[in-house]
Amino acid sequence: MWISKTIFNHFKSRLNFTPNYAPLSLLSPRRFASTIAQNPSTFNSIHDANQVIDFPGGTVKFIPEMRFISESSPQRIPCYRVLDDDGQPLANNFVQVSEEVAVRMYSNMVTLQIMDTIFYEAQRQGRISFYATTIGEEAINIASAAALTRDDVIFPQYREPGPLLWRGFTLQEIAHQCFSNKYDNGKGRQMPIHYGSNKHNYFTVASTVATQVPHAVGAAYSLKMDKKDACSITYFGDGGSSEGDFHAALNFAAVMEAPVIFLCRNNGWAISTPTSDQFRSDGVVVKGQAYGVRSIRVDGNDALAIYNAVQAAREMAISEERPVLIEALTYRVGHHSTSDDSTKYRPANEIEWWRLARDPVARFRKWIERNGWWNDMAESELRNSLRQQLLHSIQVAENIEKPPIEDIFNDVYDVPPSNLREQEQWVKDTIKKHPLDYPENISA
């Protein structure tokens, strides 16, 4: 395996990637490759031929005992962590982040918190139709984005507005999308929180679970063919790992040696379905080895652990041309969406414990405060400023007219067929006939 001395010294002893919890310096470079059919001339004797078979993928040894592979190992895969629950580093063998980056990471995590609170309230007031929060998963959102470059392509699920914020997508643009006005990049065709931005290399969110995962592999393979110094990353939940798209994507990525990072947010729940009803494996991380994908389990509520793991995975994906699977253990503190009441299927005290004891934002704040980079005054100023910005953004977005009705029907055909034109006219006539049933700022 080729790996530059700089990369080797940078990452050795930091992270333990599976399989067998091997440190980075001891990871096997071996990749299974197709071989020609067994050639008897390669064996010195009939005895040798009876001991092994030269099968596609490599030589396989014969044994006289019947041995089944266990369905699980005696111990669960360990979880990589940098900061304990009190924000204290467990060791010093991690990539340090500068004060500027750390403060920016924390500010973006707080932005997510306040944004979620205000937009959730706006939905409850009937001002937008839908919303989904990232409460409890702020570290995964922001720290992963901080470890990437702007050239890396992002394929989100629907709980990752953080990378967009990190790359410069404004709060006003967030509000435009949620209110589906004429400045929405999606022209009002998507539900709220289904963001997308070509400018920020962020593919549009789709509600369909895990469909973005194989797309990310295809994009990664394209980057590899074009010899780009970049990778793709796709986010999905534990529920997404139960979809066929996830399994097809891992196999596709391994075989094509695509530089892609699979980041699974294992938050314990796929809406109301617990992980215990989804799989019997040791989480999601073990699924990578079966497909020949290097994998690691990380504390998803530890911003520094996520940052280090994603940065290391990115180096591997690009320099070694290989996929990497990251399982981030976290907890969805908020409801699945505004259409959900999670207290119907999980105890309220469990939610409250995770909110208070394992809050990733509070943990990271303790660390930057110990470094002398943050204080109560900065905290108060940040939260007050963000709240005012968000309220102003909502006021502006709410009063901007909706996209023209034509936008529902264009961008598919170069010349729209007659049946679509008839439908367009029917919609316009209906709005004129029943104006009270439609928003005042929609034009027919």
The one catalytic residue in 144, 241, 337, 342 is: 337
Q: Residue 335 catalytic?
A: no
Cα 324 to Cα 147: distance, rounded to the nearest angstrom: 15
List of long-range contacts for 99-105, beta carbons under 8 Å, 24+ apart: 99/371, 99/373, 101/146, 102/367, 102/368, 102/371, 102/373, 103/368, 103/373, 103/374, 104/146, 105/142, 105/143, 105/146, 105/303, 105/307, 105/364
Candidate list 121, 352, 422, 440, residue with the active-site label: 121
pLDDT digits (tens), the chain, 444 positions: 333 444 434 444 445 554 445 566 557 666 655 545 555 555 555 556 678 888 888 889 999 999 999 998 889 999 999 999 999 999 999 999 999 999 999 999 999 999 999 999 999 999 999 999 999 999 999 999 999 999 999 999 999 999 999 999 999 999 999 999 999 999 999 999 999 999 999 999 999 999 999 999 999 999 999 999 999 999 999 999 999 999 999 999 999 999 999 999 999 999 999 999 999 999 999 999 999 999 999 999 999 999 999 999 999 999 999 999 999 999 999 999 999 999 999 999 999 999 999 999 999 999 999 999 999 999 999 999 999 999 999 999 999 999 999 999 999 899 999 999 999 999 999 999 999 998 888 877
- 3-state SS class at 13: coil
E strands within 16-130?
52-55, 58-61
Residue 121 among the catalytic residues: yes
pTM of full prediction above 0.85: yes
Predicted local confidence at residue 13, as pLDDT: 44
Looking at residue 101, what is its pLDDT?
Answer: 98
CA 301, CA 286: separation in Å to the nearest integer? Answer: 20
Enumerate the H helices of 12-146 as residue ranges.
46-49, 99-124, 138-146
> Of residues 176, 194, 335, 336, which has the active-site annotation?
336
User: Around Cβ 229, how many Cβ atoms within 10 Å?
Assistant: 11
Burial class (CB in 10 A: 0-12, 13-18, 19+), 407: middle
CB 87 within 8 A of CB 367: yes
Annotated catalytic residue: which of 207, 350, 398, 424?
A: 207
Q: Residue 2: its pLDDT value, please?
A: 39
Whole-number Cα distances in Å, 124 to 135, 177, 194, 442: 17, 17, 18, 22
Q: List C-alpha distances in Å: 117 to 135, 205, 333.
A: 9, 21, 13
Question: Tokens for 385?
Answer: 């400023």
Task: Report the candidate in 444, 366, 432 with the shortest Cα–Cα distance to residue 404.
Answer: 444
* Beta-carbon count within 10 A of 120 CB: 19
Identify the pLDDT of residue 12.
44
